[in-house]
Amino acid sequence: MKLLVTGGAGFIGSHFVRYILQTYADYKIINLDALSYAGNPENLKDIEKNKSYTFVKGDIRDFKTVKGLLKGVDVILNFAAQTHVDRSIKEAKDFVETNINGVFTLLEAARSAKIQKFIQISTDEVYGSILEGSFIEKDALSPSSPYSASKAGADLLCNAYALTYRMPLIITRSSNNFGPYQYPEKVIPLFVTNILEGKKVPLYGDGLNVRDWLFVLDNVRAIDFILHKGEAGQIYNISADNELNNLELTALILKKFGLGSEWIQYVEDRAAHDRRYSLDSSKLRHLGWKPIYDFEKSIEATIDWYKTNVQWWKKLKKS
C-alpha cells in the first residue's frame, strides 16, 4: 500500500509514519509537510533514510503539489493542521487557511485522482463541552474556539464530499493526545519542560476543566486499525477513558518530580474555555480496537523522554 501522509512531521503524524514503516515492510509513505513551527524534521530523523519513506516539503493548500504526489497513492491521511487553541484565539486566519482551505484542496485533489480512501484526522473539540455523559459520533457539532470551529468546518466539508461525490472518506476524532515529540506549547510538555527549567507551571482558571488523555501510540494504533478495517462514510471516536481535571493532571506531573502545589501559578482563564470533553469510543471498540497503554506509565515515559531530549525542546521554547 502507498500512503500520502500530510503533516507527517508533526506530533501525531510523525508517530504514525514511524509506526507504519515499522509494522508493514511493504508499505510506502510520502510525507507532505510545510514544516511550520510545529512541523519538525527531527521528529523523523531516525527513519529519513528508509527506502520506503519520501519527504516532500510543501503546503496542503497547493493543489499542483498535492495532485503531483498522488500517482500510485492508495490512501490520503490528513494530519496537517494548526492545532493550538491559544494561537487560534490570537490569530484565527492561519487556522481557517490550513484547516479548512487546506482540506478543501486535498479533497479536490483526491477526487480528481480517484483515491481509494481519505482519512481526515479530527478532534474531540469539534463537539464542544459536555458536563455529563460522553459524545457519540452522531452528536451535533458545537465548537467554541476558532481552532475547533475550523476543524468542525473541515469535518462538514468532508461529509459533504462523501455524500455528494461518494468519496470513500473516514473521519477520526480523538481525545487529548500526549507523548514524546509533542510541541512544548501543549499542557503536558509545557509543564514538564517548565519544571525542568525550574519554572512554575501556569494553570488556567480554577483548574477544574476535564480532559480525557490518550497516549499518542494508542491513537496511532487506532488510526492504523481504521485504515484497514474502518468503513467509508463513517466517523470514529478514539478515547482511553483517562479523564482528569487539569488540577489533578498538574498534581500528578508535579508528584512525578517530587514537587508540591507551590509550583502552580494560577493564570487568567482562556476565553471560551470548554469545561469538559468526553468521547464514547464504543463504536470503534466493538470493531476490535482498544487502548493498551497504561496512563501513569505513559506519563512517566513521556516525562523521561523530555528529560533525555533537552536539546529537542530547548530550541523550540526559545523560538
Catalogue the active-site residues. 124-125, 147
* Whether the Cβ atoms of residue 4 and residue 77 lie closer than 8 Å to each other: yes
What DSSP string describes 92-129? -HHHHIIIIIHHHHHHHHHHHHT-SEEEEEEEGGGG--
Cell, residue 176: 487529548
For residues 284-314, b (16+ Cβ closer than 10 Å) or e, as one string?
bbeeebebebebeebbeebbebbeeeeebbe
The beta strands (E) that lie in the chain are given as 2-6, 28-33, 53-57, 75-78, 117-123, 169-174, 176-178, 201-204, 210-215, 235-238, 243-245, 264-267
Q: How far is CA 6 from CA 39, 73, 164, 233, in A?
A: 11, 13, 24, 20
Q: Which of 118, 127, 136, 134 is nearest to 237 (CA)?
A: 136
Rounded to 5°, the CA angle 14-297-187 comes to 60
